[in-house]
Homo-oligomer: A and B are copies of this chain.
Amino acid sequence: MHRTKVKVVAEALDANNTIAAANRSDFDRAGVRVVNFMSAPGAGKTALLERVLADLAGVRVGVLEGDVQGSIDADRLAGLHVPVVQLNTSPGFGGECHLDANIVRTALPSLPLDDLDLLVIENVGNLVCPAEFRVGEDRRVMVCSVTEGEDKPLKYPLMFRTCDLVLVNKIDLLPHLEYDLDKLLYNVDQVNPGVERLLVSARTGEGIESWRAWLMGIADREGTLA
């Protein structure tokens, strides 16, 4: 039974990687850079996109919104006048807990890839399985809210280990928490030494210009944009 299960899982991950590579080819052909954006539920992914997507100084951006059910986040982003496509994972498995390469692939015909420089894929809120499934992304960004405690890198190591940027969000709440920011950053370095990190608050705007600049730097692969 266990060996069968391991085999099924290995085959599923192999199949996923094959489709992720196909996605990547399509993204490269269209000249679009792709960010897989991940966090626990309620860490502030959508709020951090609301803060920056309307003004990326010439970078043409689109969004894939992944949720188990509903279109709350896509509706929030609709006012930004960027292309947004909602993906719901609920038809499978009583709600898949992550996006995989195949579900992302089903959305590609709905996106004007040739007219984009950057695609942000907002994953399902979950610190485990989203880290296991490549979707064809160039970069992985995760949001870690200071309300979640300092121990999360040690408890969800794959997520922290495989990301290229950690956004430490809700820092406006630090005065009201018993939270040791140095301990969090120490734990981040334990699993992903030296990984880039930005301290931000989607609510007050602190650190948001750095987040905007990071995204624009990813999109500007030839260094020709302003």
Contact = CB atoms under 8 A, between A and B. Distances in A.
B72 A125 contact: no
Greatest chain B CB density within 10 A among A1, A41, A178 is at: A41
Interface in A42-67: 42, 67
Nearest to A67: B155
Interface in A139-155: 145, 147-149, 151-152, 154-155
A125 B127 contact: yes
Q: How many copies does the complex hold?
A: 2
Nearest to A10: B93
Contacts of A112: none
A197 interface: no
A226 to B, nearest CB: 34
Nearest to A154: B70
Interface in A1-52: 1, 5-6, 8-9, 12, 15, 40-42
A154 B40 contact: no
A124 interface: yes
**Size category, A interface:** 35 or more
Main SS at interface, chain A: loop
A152 B69 contact: no
Nearest to A41: B40
A126 B97 contact: yes
A203 interface: yes
Interface of A: 1, 5-6, 8-9, 12, 15, 40-42, 67-70, 72, 92-97, 124-129, 131-132, 145, 147-149, 151-152, 154-158, 170, 173, 176-178, 203
